[in-house]
Amino acid sequence: MLTLHSTNRNCPDVDFKTALIAGLAPDKGLYTASGYPRFSGEELLGMAMMGYPELAYTVLSRLIGDQLPEAKLKEVCEDAYDFDVPVVGIPGENVHVLHLDKGPTASFKDFAARAMSRIMSYYTEQDGRELLILTATSGDTGGAVASAFHGVKNIKVCVLYPAAEVSERQRRQMTTLGGNVQAIAVDGKFDDCQALVKRAFADPELAILNLSSANSINIGRLLPQSVYYFWGYFRALEGRVAAGALDPAIISVPSGNFGNLMGGLIAKQLGLPVAKFVASVNENDEFPKFLQSGTYQKVEPSASCLSNAMNVGHPSNLARIVDLYGGTMDHDGKLLKQPDMDRLRGDIFSASISDEETRFIIEAVYQKYEHVLEPHGAVGWGGLRRYLDASGSDAPAITIETADPAKFPELIQEVLGIDPPLPASLKSMQKKQEAYAKMRKNYTAFKDFLVEHYAH
Ligand SMILES: *Cc1c(COP(=O)(O)O)cnc(C)c1O
């Protein structure tokens, strides 16, 4: 089972439950696992035909099975994963698209948020306490977290989003729920929202609020994100796996805060055969530059791109990735100890895809394969192509689609001239009343708001 340490290595190790409730470690580092169990080849072959909830249970029980009752974890997985996870083959290519966009908010963040809310609710109920979840979102986290926690007992949610950087539908997913969900529109960028949240967590005067995070900062978000890598692998390589082969695959991950990629790296630690991850980013190219040069420099301010959920100039999970490869990065992005760059480059390739390329890919993939990608998925596709061209590899490849095209109707209409069909989950919020607070990127104002609304 997992022991977790802080990436800053300046506080005691904890178990999963403690890390989940705390969110951030007391030394401001991120909790991350000190080592992972490993599935044998035989065990992997035995998991190949499982349905998604059973696969989730199998992977999660190996990681945190000592942290909640078996029956509870099973119930969490069945309740959280009651939607489709299609893996679509691209005709004539050795490429599959793993669709993580069929959950209730049509974003891959549903996978983590739904499991996490149910586990957290179990713990708060058990301990008889209340939590306030603070979350900064660049677009999709907010909606997924709000939906996952909406109506959950003992937990309130406060979501901060950059007022001018989210689409109308993304905003509505946060502002139409009400009840235990409060949305705040911040006059600034995602990084400003994240800075406010991080500062609140570090503020001793706010300890009375029992703050917790549901960001990709939280370890509870990451572990469930390792499951769909197994799922995608087993579907995409079905024939080979049925014949008993576990060939290494290439997996391209559209990346912003690198929580999705970290889930993939965890899956690899658990034994999933992955030849290469492609960290596909938009014009925020701090990571590919880091891989190339070994020198890390954030992009400040972050570039505003079409794939708006990936407009991140300093990925919060980078500290975890650096840690996994033997280095240390502090919360400002300063490298205190260089990771093993050779091993890092061996496992991960990274490519930056411009907005111009993103549009081109959406159009070209539709023309050639009649497959509609939205901007995040298009960045993933572009990164994969870049890697395949550079390496000449013919290994089976998977690229991840993280949102439904219907979340970007104006862009899809402009590039393809079609209206992507609206999933039922998104339809229902179109007519609901919106409610949200407005705030400048000012910590004192934010703190006053929190105290006024939540201290009692
Ligand atoms: C959050 C998000 C991403 C980026 O995921 P990270 O885990 O932050 O790297 C990509 N696509 C969509 C649609 C998202 O919502």
Task: Give domain status of residue 448, yes or no.
Answer: yes
User: Which residue from 23, 32, 116 is spatially nearest to 322, judged by alpha carbons?
Assistant: 32
Q: What is the pLDDT of residue 215?
A: 67
d(CA 16, CA 32): 10
> How far is ligand 1, taken at its centre, from the CA of residue 26, in Å?
26
CB 406 within 8 A of CB 423: yes
Residue 74 vs residues 66, 81, 151, 153, 291: alpha-carbon distances, Å: 13, 11, 21, 20, 39
Which amino acid is located at 162 in the chain?
P
CB of 140 sitting under 6 A from ligand 1:
yes
Rounded to the nearest angstrom, the gap between the alpha carbon of residue 174 and the centroid of all alpha carbons in its chain is 17
Q: What is the pLDDT of residue 144?
A: 86
CB of 376 sitting under 6 A from ligand 1:
yes
| Per-residue confidence in pLDDT tens, the chain, 456 aa | 899 999 999 999 999 999 998 888 999 899 999 999 999 999 999 999 999 999 999 999 999 999 999 999 999 999 999 999 999 999 999 999 999 999 998 989 999 999 999 999 999 999 998 999 998 987 778 888 899 999 888 899 999 999 998 888 889 999 999 999 999 999 999 889 999 998 998 899 999 999 887 766 889 999 999 999 999 999 999 999 999 999 999 999 999 999 999 999 999 999 999 999 999 999 999 999 999 999 999 999 999 999 988 999 999 999 999 999 999 999 889 999 999 999 999 999 999 999 999 999 999 999 999 999 999 999 999 999 999 999 999 999 999 999 999 989 999 999 999 999 999 878 888 888 999 999 999 999 999 999 999 987
Q: In the chain, what percentage of residues exceed pLDDT 70? A: 100
CB of 8 sitting under 6 A from ligand 1:
no
Task: Give domain status of residue 115, yes or no.
Answer: yes
CB of 109 sitting under 6 A from ligand 1:
yes
Tokens coding 179: 């009840």
CATH number at residue 444: 3.40.50.1100
Q: What is the pLDDT of residue 152?
A: 85
Task: Give domain status of residue 184, yes or no.
Answer: yes
Tokens coding 355: 């907005």
> How far is ligand 1, taken at its centre, from the CA of residue 130, in Å?
28
Tokens coding 326: 């033997």
Please give the tally of structural domains in the chain: 1
Place of tokens 């919020």: 429
Q: What is the pLDDT of residue 167?
A: 83
Task: Give domain status of residue 84, yes or no.
Answer: no
Task: Give domain status of residue 395, yes or no.
Answer: no
CB of 216 sitting under 6 A from ligand 1:
yes
DSSP three-state, residue 268? helix
**pTM exceeds 0.85 for this model:** yes
Instruction: Specify the DSSP element, H or E, that contains 416.
Output: helix 409-416
pLDDT digits (tens, 9 = 90+) for 178-218: 999 999 999 999 889 999 998 998 899 999 999 887 766 88
CB of 254 sitting under 6 A from ligand 1:
yes
Atom of ligand 1 nearest to the CA of 253: 9
Structural domain including 435 reads 111-217+427-454
> How far is ligand 1, taken at its centre, from the CA of residue 136, in Å?
13
Which amino acid is located at 208 in the chain?
I
pLDDT digits (tens, 9 = 90+) for 152-182: 888 999 999 999 988 888 899 999 999 999 9
Percentage helix, strand, coil for the chain under 3-state DSSP, each rounded to 5: 45, 15, 35
Task: Give domain status of residue 83, yes or no.
Answer: no
Task: Give domain status of residue 161, yes or no.
Answer: yes
Residue 236 vs residues 52, 90, 160, 174: alpha-carbon distances, Å: 14, 10, 37, 34
CB of 139 sitting under 6 A from ligand 1:
yes
User: Which residue from 190, 69, 203 is spatially nearest to 138, judged by alpha carbons?
Assistant: 190
Task: Give domain status of residue 431, yes or no.
Answer: yes
